[in-house]
């Protein structure tokens, strides 16, 4: 505090007055008689609502606009409400709202805080896999193929392959991946021999056109045979008045889950664009049967500003030990890689 000729400077007087007003406000309240504990209830209610949505998202119904699945698709982003509510509570000078902000902060931390922890020491692994929706409108399939070939994976799964783009991937991957299987718009390239490659029927019943987005192949690896599935589930749409339109995606997820449940080999790997996040209940027929690779947030779509992890690596009777996204290619998705311990 500055003094001039023994008097308190104007800035100091203003600060002291503000502190006194805060003390008076805290004890007696403002002009309307509200204290730091009796105002800000609307903010406190909003904070409680956000905490409830985080902690009990599974009970939000899908009966209207698939609101439950829509919430679960972007669930991690609810954490952005915490600093906003905190700032408003401070501006409002509400101790009640400030205390209530701890509820969504705690709920978010319980759900996603572990994803912020630094990766531990690298764990021994037996297999590296890579999956990528290469985008049928990709302007540079050749460049995308070269980037994937240099990633050092044992297996590469691709979705949205078109007849025009397929030769670019075959050329770039031929030397490092002599074994391949392509069904419809999905494909698998492998360093190890493939056997019993066949389509997996995940087509929704209301689609009459030629539509094949599921593949199953046996990979004969050094540690024995394993079944590898490549899948591209139907897209979802968000808009008014229908909310999240995911009926086809959900139907395909049921078919894919049934195929995996019927798989006779113990070791299974699923690689694919599932058009849903791990929290989305629409993928429960798949996620309930598999162990996902989920280190970090791993947002993979859209590539320009990733908002959701919809591209996945999952296993059965094996353990994903780490996962990461690769730099953007010409696709609107990021490539996703994972290391697996057999």
Per the document, the length of the chain is: 342
In sequence order, which ranges of the chain are alpha helices (DSSP H)? Answer: 10-28, 41-55, 67-73, 81-92, 95-100, 102-112, 141-149, 166-173, 247-261, 284-287
Report pLDDT for 1.
44
Residue pair 135/333 in contact by the 8 Å Cβ criterion: yes
Distance between CA 165 and CA 341 in Å, rounded? 33
Report pLDDT for 22.
46
Show the tokens assigned to 276: 């849903």
Whether the link from the prior residue into 302 is cis, omega within 30° of 0, is yes
Report pLDDT for 13.
62
Pairing status of strand 214-221 against strand 224-232: antiparallel
Report pLDDT for 172.
96
Report pLDDT for 310.
97
- What is the rounded radius of gyration, in angstroms, for the C-alpha atoms of the chain? 26
CATH for 127-341, options being 3.40.1010.20, 3.40.80.10, 2.40.10.10, 3.60.10.10: 3.60.10.10
Write the DSSP symbol of residue 62. S
Report pLDDT for 7.
56
* pTM listed for this prediction: 0.86
Residues 6+ apart with CB under 8 A from 321: 123, 124, 125, 339, 340, 341
Q: How does 79-114 read in b/e, with b if 16+ C-beta sit within 10 Å?
A: bebbeebbebbeebbbbbbbebbebbbebbeebbee
Q: Where are the domains of the chain?
A: 3-113, 127-341
User: pLDDT of the chain along its 342 residues, tens only?
Assistant: 444 555 555 555 655 555 555 454 555 566 566 688 878 999 999 999 999 999 999 999 988 888 999 999 999 999 999 999 999 999 999 999 999 999 999 999 999 998 888 766 777 899 999 999 999 999 999 999 999 999 999 999 999 999 999 999 999 999 999 999 999 999 999 999 999 999 999 999 999 889 999 999 999 999 899 999 999 999 998 776 667 789 999 999 999 999 999 999 999 999 999 999 999 999 999 999 999 999 899 999 999 999 999 999 999 999 999 999 999 999 999 999 999 999
Report pLDDT for 186.
98
């Amino acid at each position: 505090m500055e003094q001039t000729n023994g008097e308190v400077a104007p800035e100091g007087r203003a600060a002291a007055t503000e502190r006194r007003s805060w003390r008076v406000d805290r004890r007696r309240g403002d002009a309307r008689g509200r204290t730091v504990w009796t105002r800000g209830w609307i903010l406190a209610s909003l904070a409680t609502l956000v905490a409830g949505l985080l902690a009990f998202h599974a009970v939000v119904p899908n009966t209207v606009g698939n609101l439950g699945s829509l919430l679960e698709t972007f669930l991690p982003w609810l954490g952005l409400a915490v600093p906003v509510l905190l700032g408003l509570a401070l501006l409002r000078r509400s101790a009640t709202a400030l205390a209530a902000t701890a509820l969504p902060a705690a709920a978010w931390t319980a759900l996603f805080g572990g994803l912020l922890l630094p990766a531990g020491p690298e764990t021994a692994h037996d297999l590296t896999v890579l999956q990528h929706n290469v985008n049928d409108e990709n302007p540079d399939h050749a460049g995308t193929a070269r980037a994937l070939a240099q990633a050092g994976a044992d297996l590469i799964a691709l979705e949205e392959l078109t007849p025009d783009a397929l030769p670019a991937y075959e050329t770039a991957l031929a030397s490092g991946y002599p074994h391949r299987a392509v069904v419809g718009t999905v494909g698998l390239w492998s360093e190890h021999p493939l056997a019993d490659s066949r389509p997996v029927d995940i087509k929704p019943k209301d689609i009459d056109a030629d539509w094949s987005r599921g593949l199953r192949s046996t990979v004969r690896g050094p540690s024995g045979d394993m079944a590898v599935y490549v899948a591209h589930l139907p897209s979802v749409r968000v808009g008014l008045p229908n909310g999240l339109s995911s009926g086809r995606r959900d139907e395909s997820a049921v078919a894919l889950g049934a195929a995996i449940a019927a798989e006779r080999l113990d070791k299974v790997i699923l690689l694919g664009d599932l058009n849903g996040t791990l929290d989305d209940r629409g993928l429960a027929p798949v996620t309930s049967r598999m162990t996902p690779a989920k280190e970090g947030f791993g947002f993979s779509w859209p590539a320009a500003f990733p908002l959701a992890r919809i591209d996945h690596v999952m296993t059965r009777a094996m353990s994903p030990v780490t996962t990461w996204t690769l730099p953007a290619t010409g696709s609107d998705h990021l490539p996703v890689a994972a290391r697996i311990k057999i």
